A = this chain, B = another copy of it.
Amino acid sequence: MGLVVQKYGGSSVADAEGIKRVAKRIVEAKKNGHQVVVVVSAMGDTTDELIDLAEQVSPIPSGREFDMLLTAGERISMALLAMAIKNLGHEAQSFTGSQAGVITDSVHNKARIIDVTPGRIRESIDAGNIAIVAGFQGVSQDKKDITTLGRGGSDTTAVALAAALDAEVCEIYTDVDGVFTADPRVVKKARKIDWISFEDMLELASSGSKVLLHRCVEYARRYNIPIHVRSSFSGLKGTWVSNEPQGDQPMEQAIISGVAHDTSEAKITVVGVPDKPGEAAAIFRTISDAELNIDMVVQNVSAASTGLTDISFTLPKTDGHKAMSALSKAQPVIGFDSLRYDDQIAKISLVGAGMRTNPGVTATFFEALSNAGVNIELISTSEIRISVVTRADDVKEAVRAVHTAFGLDSDSVEAVVYGGTGR
């Protein structure tokens, strides 16, 4: 029996009862003979409450101080969790990100992990303790300041520790039973995926699936750490994410892993762009100078009569305002006609490595949408993903239609969402 890293999100430790429930589950793993390292997020709404306090005190809180503030959240949950475990008769010690050796760069609020030096953790588990580590936080290499890792930070902490400690598996406990073939809140007959490759999981994550973030999966793939996503509320097996199926996992990969959707993006259309070399470059240089990331890009075929074309792209709604004003400012130089902004869109993506060798996939996808009366506005494809943009109002129907068309529907309703939303 080797070393297991377990990560519990905020909804799993939302209150004293939750902490005690999680403590029992941790102790079970220890009793089964594993060395156990636990990464924990802040309790339920703690982070939101702290952000609220910060906003009362200062409209633009300093990054360094904001990180100092937020990290109090994990400090509370990890100490309580260690107490709860000791109360069950097992030894536990909690460690801050800094004590656990999570070394980051100095970019406050969204630091990147540079290195993990888990000497104290190794010492603690070798002495028979269960080690509890604060997720989401680290210490900056140069200034020794406390940093936070930003969205999905606790999952990344867990995977990074698993890699540094050469763990057998990184278990991500959350409030759903695993990764599903579609969002169970939209598709009642969504099926839990038993095993999915890193590659497909990365595509799902960047297409709107929220169970695991891209960043964490990318880290796991780089260090080849199997992830087991499962519920902290039920005792069920969850979803394994790894290079190759192992043990009793299904040996053959499905053609299609799942359908993801995303309603967090907006579409900007640059209308009447002169169809000559350098125009598209000028537009996207403007966007990148504003430090904005874009997702899909489509350029219409130029109308021969005018010599003008339209260029559309999508980006996070939160960056919409910045992008529009950057482009407006650049309009005289670039010389387009006008800008259109549309935040009533949805992106629907079909992901599966199997589509490489199954030429009919694209046709089936479009037919399903067409039969459901859903209009397609943009299309973009990768080797293992097809994404379309539709009206936001059509998203649920579109996802369900595609899910059914690819035979992903379960015979019964499987999915249960237990708590709130994990972090």
Chain A residues close to B by CB (< 8 Å): 16, 19-20, 50, 53-54, 56-62, 64-66, 68-69, 71-73, 75-76, 78-80, 82-84, 86-87, 92-94, 96, 99, 120, 144, 146
Provide a sorted-by-A list of 14 A–B residue pairs whose CB atoms are within 8 angstroms.
Answer: A50-B76, A53-B76, A54-B79, A54-B83, A57-B80, A59-B87, A65-B82, A65-B83, A68-B75, A68-B82, A69-B80, A72-B72, A72-B79, A96-B146
Instruction: Give Cα A151 to B75, complex, Å.
Output: 21
Beyond the given A57-B84, A57-B87, A60-B87, could you list 10 further A-B residue pairs with CB under 8 A, ordered by the A residue number? A16-B56, A54-B83, A59-B87, A61-B83, A64-B93, A65-B92, A66-B83, A69-B83, A72-B79, A75-B75
A73 cross-chain contacts in B, Cβ below 8 A? 72
Question: Helix, strand, loop or mixed for chain A's interface?
Answer: helix
Judge whether B75 and A79 touch: CB under 8 Å. no
Closest 5 CB pairs of A and B: A16-B56, A69-B79, A68-B79, A58-B87, A58-B83
A69 cross-chain contacts in B, Cβ below 8 A? 75-76, 79-80, 83
A120 cross-chain contacts in B, Cβ below 8 A? 144
What's the minimum C-beta distance from A117 to chain B, rounded to whole angstroms?
Answer: 14
- Pick the most buried of A57, A80, A84: most chain B CB atoms within 10 A of its CB: A57
Judge whether A79 and B58 touch: CB under 8 Å. no
A65 cross-chain contacts in B, Cβ below 8 A? 79-80, 82-83, 86, 92-94
Judge whether B94 and A57 touch: CB under 8 Å. no
Instruction: Determine the residue in chain B with the shortest Cβ distance to A49.
Output: B76
Instruction: Give Cα A60 to B60, complex, Å.
Output: 41
What's the minimum C-beta distance from A93 to chain B, rounded to whole angstroms?
Answer: 7
Instruction: Determine the residue in chain B with the shortest Cβ distance to A88.
Output: B58
Judge whether B72 and A76 touch: CB under 8 Å. yes
Instruction: Give Cα A94 to B54, complex, Å.
Output: 14
